[in-house]
Structures are given as C-alpha cells and as structure tokens.
C-alpha cells in the first residue's frame, strides 16, 4: 500500500523555517489494516511489510546546517527493556525529549510498548537510547501503554536511502583559512550547484538574485563567482568554468562567449547562420535565437563528459537591447543542453527563460529544465553556527553545540535584525560578522594544532 502523500507535506525546522517534502518518499511502509482500525495483530507474521514508517526527504539539505543523527551501524536490536527518550512535539510544537522505558510485547518483535508521557500529536517522533542512538519511532497510544516501532524492523530498508542522502559539497571559507573569505548563509547555493552537477538534472544552473537591488550592492554577486569556482574545484576534472562580463559595452555577447570559450581551450569552428534565419531573413529575435542555439550546441559538444558552467556577471548599469536579446536566447538554448550550466548573478530586472526553482528538491521533481533561484540579502544565526562547526571540523575538532551557539551569538551581538525578523541579519553586516569570527576560528585552528 505504498501510496504517495496526497497533499504536499511541510516540515517546520528547529530554526522556524518551513520546508516542503519531496513527493517521492524514499521509504514508505503503512500500518496494518487492523492497526488502522485501532485493533492490534497478535503475531509477527501479520506485521510483515507493515512498519508504519515513512522516510521523507526535505527539499533542501538542512541537516548539514542544523545537525543530524547517524543511523546505528549495527543491528539496532533492542534488549527486553530499554530506557528511551522520545521526541515530544504536540501539534508540531517541539517541547523537548520525554524519558520513558520500552518493553517487549510477549511473542511479538514488530512493536514494543513504552511509557514515555509524550503528548498527543507526537506520533512519528524519534526514540533514542541514552547513547543518543536512534532505536525506534513512536507509533502512538494504545491504552494503557504507547507503542513504538523498533528500528531493527526497517533499518535495512532505509539504510541505503539515508546513506545516499549526502550533504552537498560546501566550503566554509574560500581558501580553507579563517581569513580567506568566510561563506555564510549560502546553503541554497551549494545545494543548487550540487543538484545542477548531477547529470540529467533539470536544474541547469542558478540565478542569484539580490533581495533589495539598490541596497545590497554587488559584493555578494562578485563573491558568488569565487564561491562557484571554489565549489567546482572540489571535483577536479568534472567541471569547466567560463566567466562572462559586460564590461566592454555594446559588445556582441555571442561573440564574447565564443572568445571566452576559445580562451578556455574550446575551439569552436565558426558556423554561419542558417539560411532562412539570418539577420534580414527574419526578426532579430528569431535570428539571435538560432545563433544562440548553434553556439550552445557547439559548447555542449565541446564540453564532452565535463559540465561547462557559464557565469554571467551582473552588468552594473544594465544591458542594451542587443545584449539582452542575446543573453535571453543563449540562456534559453543552454538550459536545453545537457552539459551546459548557467549561473546568472544579478539581472534582477530581466526575465529569464526556463523554469525557476526555489530549492534543489523542486528541481528534482520538475519536468522542465530551469534555474534554481537563490535570493541573497540576509543570513541567519544558524548560518554562522554552521560556519563555526564546519571550520572546527576542518581543523579536526568537534565542538559542543552549546559552544557553537555561544560563539555564534557573540558574532552577531548588537547587529540590527533584518526588517525586524528575529535571528535574521542583513548581508551588509556580513563583513563585520566575518571580522568577529576570524579570531575565534584562528583560536580554534591553533587549539587544534594548526598554524594561525
């Protein structure tokens, strides 16, 4: 009875943000028909294939930012009696962990009963032992006790799905040092690059957009190119990168692309425009569309087994008509080519071809190609925490959550919140936060035995 969810499920994260759940659940096992009728089967055989458990995948990889628990590596068999902690979240409101004791049900291994006093609405909550290992999922109340589904019943079924759900490659600093440009609040960028790096993905690149064009300046956009280059370098040999600017004014964009490709070693033979769609044969829109298609095809062929990323830098004072037509035409053509990826930094006043996705997960479920849209302009305290945690890990140190939170609070101390939103800070303050974080990270590095 593996039915997909009927309505989109949303999950509220511990930092208050909401995420949609991808419609294709990696694992879905319904309860038994008797359980559905509030009755209880007596023998294990009746529970075969009915674990009353679903593994859902969020549209974005927030685990990397918020933290996560590993699956046990062993068999996860529970003993006859076990002290447990059950996640308590009545009506979706997280209230903490409730202790209890799990006991076996005679002649039954498919379910266990427990006595944790969790409130109604906490079904599906994780049950941990006191070694912080997941041992089961709270199923619900069957008076006088409550029940859980032991992890051992379905661990083998979900192990691969969880193992394959890896966080996208990311960096906390452009050069891996505390002074090398800290990367704060760009999770969606990393997820977007990871999704677009997947062969066959509908995400054919990213569009990085400023939330407030006049206020945010161009710093975040310039940083984006460096960030992209750094992330792509994590998989050497898999990617190539072209950077296209609009610095020369009144330039033929398609020629500029061709030149940039040539400079990168792609020799593209000149193809004259096809008869019937040359300038004069048809409208400028149709003519440039065709030339852009031909160029995109050539670039795609030239890319071979690599992915060719083309980064378009934001024009400081806009584009002229010819540039705009050419840019639109090229992006429209590029998103249809499997080996091309486009990154548009800025261009907020332009409409772009193709679909737009707000998350990598959306792109995964899409039927048409497009760009993942990342809006920049603010960051969260949890983003700062993630930088501290990742930096410490890269130094070989695992910090306690409380320490990370404390240091993050120090870094954002006294900053104005973004539009009055608690925990949100303006991108304008990134430089200050980076300056505050640098000595902390250098201390961490020194403590871990690295050079400062």
Partner 1 sequence: MTPEPDFISLSRRFAALSGPFHPRAAIEASQVDPASPEALDLTADLASACEIQKDPESGVRWLMRTSARSWELQALGPDGRAAAAAWRREQPAFDGPAQDIVMALAGEGGFAPDVIEARLLAIENGEPAQVLELERLTCALEWAGPAGPAFRLLDRVRAAVDRQHEAQRGESLLQAGFLGREAERKRLVDWIARPIPQGRVTALFVTGLPAIGKSTLLEQAIRDAAASQGPALVIRLDFDRAGLDVRDQVGLTMEVSRQLAAQLPQQAHEMRTARLVAAAVDDEETKGDRRDRIPPALASAMAQDLQASGRPILFLLDTLEALLSRGASHIQQLFGWLDVLLSYGLAPMSVIAAGRGEALAPARERIFGPPVELDALTPEDGLALLGRLGVPKELHDRIQTQAQGNPLRLRLSAAFATGADANGEPPADLTDEAHLYRALKSRIVQPELAALVEPGLLLRRINAEALGEVMTVAAGQPRVEAQAAQALFEALIAHQWLMQPDPDAPGWWRQVPAMRTVLFPRLAKGRRARRLHALARDWFAKRPRALGSGGKPLSSAAGPAGQGPAAQPGAGGSVRPADDRRTAPGGPRRRGLGAGREFLPTAGRRPRPRHPAPASIRGRRPICSSRSNAPTGSRAATCTIGRSRTSMWTLCRRSPTPRARCCGGWDAGSRRARRCGSTTSNCQVTATSKRCRPKWRSPAPRCAPSSIPKGCGGGCEPTLDTARRWSASSSAAARARRRDRR
Residues forming contacts to partner 1 in the complex (CB under 8 A) are 179, 209, 211-214, 218, 221-222, 243, 245-250, 259, 262-263, 274-277, 279-286, 289-290, 293, 297, 313-318, 320-322, 325, 328-329, 331-333, 336-337, 348-358, 367, 373, 375, 435
Q: How far is the CB of 328 from partner 1 (least distance, A)?
A: 4
Q: How far is the CB of 78 from partner 1 (least distance, A)?
A: 42
Whichever of 27 and 357 has its CB closer to partner 1, that residue is 357
Q: Which of 399, 373, 369, 375 is nearest to 387 (CA)?
A: 399
Q: How far is the CB of 381 from partner 1 (least distance, A)?
A: 20
Q: How far is the CB of 278 from partner 1 (least distance, A)?
A: 9
Whichever of 119 and 262 has its CB closer to partner 1, that residue is 262
Whichever of 137 and 335 has its CB closer to partner 1, that residue is 335
Q: How far is the CB of 440 from partner 1 (least distance, A)?
A: 16
Decide: helix, strand or coil at residue 159: helix
What is 183-211 written as a DSSP string?
--S-HHHHHHHHHHHSTT-SEEEEEEEES
Question: What is the number of other CB atoms lying within 10 angstroms of the CB of residue 355?
Answer: 19
Whichever of 194 and 294 has its CB closer to partner 1, that residue is 294
Whichever of 120 and 250 has its CB closer to partner 1, that residue is 250
Q: How far is the CB of 208 from partner 1 (least distance, A)?
A: 12
Whichever of 358 and 405 has its CB closer to partner 1, that residue is 358
Contacts of 137 (CB under 8 A, 6+ apart): 52, 53, 124, 125, 126, 127, 148, 149, 151
The answer to whether 187 touches 65, Cβ cutoff 8 Å, is: yes
CA dist., res. 353 & res. 436, Å (int): 41
Q: How far is the CB of 229 from partner 1 (least distance, A)?
A: 10
Contacts of 414 (CB under 8 A, 6+ apart): none
Q: How far is the CB of 83 from partner 1 (least distance, A)?
A: 42
Whichever of 53 and 303 has its CB closer to partner 1, that residue is 303
Contacts of 29 (CB under 8 A, 6+ apart): 2, 49, 50, 51, 52, 53, 54, 154, 157
The answer to whether 90 touches 127, Cβ cutoff 8 Å, is: no
Whichever of 104 and 258 has its CB closer to partner 1, that residue is 258
Give the single-character DSSP code of 370.
Answer: E
Q: How far is the CB of 25 from partner 1 (least distance, A)?
A: 20
Whichever of 81 and 435 has its CB closer to partner 1, that residue is 435
Question: What is the number of other CB atoms lying within 10 angstroms of the CB of residue 414?
Answer: 8
Whichever of 78 and 294 has its CB closer to partner 1, that residue is 294
Decide: helix, strand or coil at residue 29: strand
The answer to whether 387 touches 183, Cβ cutoff 8 Å, is: yes
Question: What is the number of other CB atoms lying within 10 angstroms of the CB of residue 412?
Answer: 21
CA dist., res. 197 & res. 332, Å (int): 19
Q: Which of 111, 57, 63, 120 is nearest to 88 (CA)?
A: 120
Whichever of 320 and 452 has its CB closer to partner 1, that residue is 320
Q: How far is the CB of 305 from partner 1 (least distance, A)?
A: 17
Question: What is the number of other CB atoms lying within 10 angstroms of the CB of residue 399?
Answer: 18
Q: How far is the CB of 222 from partner 1 (least distance, A)?
A: 5
Q: Which of 430, 245, 416, 200 is nearest to 347 (CA)?
A: 245
User: How are the residues of the chain apportioned to helix, strand and coil, as percentages rounded to the nearest 5?
Assistant: 35, 25, 40
CA dist., res. 233 & res. 120, Å (int): 49
């Amino acid at each position: 009875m593996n039915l997909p969810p009927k309505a989109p499920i949303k999950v509220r994260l511990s930092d208050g943000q909401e995420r949609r759940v991808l419609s294709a659940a990696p694992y879905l096992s319904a309860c038994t028909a008797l359980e559905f009728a509030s009755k209880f089967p007596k023998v294990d055989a009746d529970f075969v294939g009915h674990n009353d458990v679903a593994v859902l995948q969020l549209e974005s990889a927030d685990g990397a930012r918020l933290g996560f628990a590993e699956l046990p590596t062993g068999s996860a068999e529970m003993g006859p009696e076990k002290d447990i902690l059950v996640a308590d979240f009545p009506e979706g409101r997280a209230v903490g962990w409730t202790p209890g004791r799990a006991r076996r049900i005679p002649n039954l291994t498919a379910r266990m009963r427990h006595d944790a006093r969790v409130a109604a609405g906490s079904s599906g909550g994780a049950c941990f032992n006191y070694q912080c290992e997941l041992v089961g999922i709270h199923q619900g109340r069957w008076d006088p006790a409550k029940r859980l589904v032991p992890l051992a019943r379905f661990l083998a079924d979900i192990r691969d799905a969880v193992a394959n759900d890896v966080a996208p490659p990311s960096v906390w600093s452009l050069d891996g040092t505390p002074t090398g440009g800290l990367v704060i609040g760009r999770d969606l960028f990393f997820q977007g690059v990871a999704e677009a790096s997947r062969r066959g993905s509908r995400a054919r690149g990213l569009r990085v957009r400023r939330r407030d064009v006049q206020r945010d300046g161009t710093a975040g956009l310039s940083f984006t190119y460096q960030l992209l280059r750094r992330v792509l370098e994590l998989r050497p040999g898999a990617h190539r990168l072209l950077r296209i600017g609009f610095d020369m004014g009144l330039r033929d964009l398609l020629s500029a692309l061709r030149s940039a490709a040539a400079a990168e070693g792609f020799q593209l033979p000149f193809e004259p425009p096809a008869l019937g769609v040359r300038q004069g044969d048809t409208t400028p829109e149709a003519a440039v569309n065709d030339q852009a298609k031909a160029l995109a095809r050539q670039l795609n062929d030239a890319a071979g087994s690599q992915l060719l990323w083309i980064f378009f830098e934001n024009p400081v004072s806009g584009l002229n008509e010819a540039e705009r037509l050419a840019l639109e035409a090229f992006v429209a053509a590029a998103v249809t080519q499997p080996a091309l990826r486009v990154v548009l930094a800025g261009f907020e006043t332009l409409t772009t071809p193709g679909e737009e996705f707000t998350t990598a997960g959306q792109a995964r479920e899409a039927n048409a190609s497009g760009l993942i849209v990342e809006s920049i302009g603010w960051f969260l305290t949890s983003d700062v925490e993630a930088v501290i945690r990742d930096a410490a890990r890269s130094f070989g140190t695992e910090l306690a959550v409380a320490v990370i939170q404390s240091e993050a609070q120090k870094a954002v101390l006294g900053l104005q919140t973004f539009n009055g939103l608690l925990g949100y800070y303006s991108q304008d303050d990134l430089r200050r936060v980076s300056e505050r974080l640098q000595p902390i990270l250098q201390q961490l590095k020194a403590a871990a035995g690295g050079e400062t």
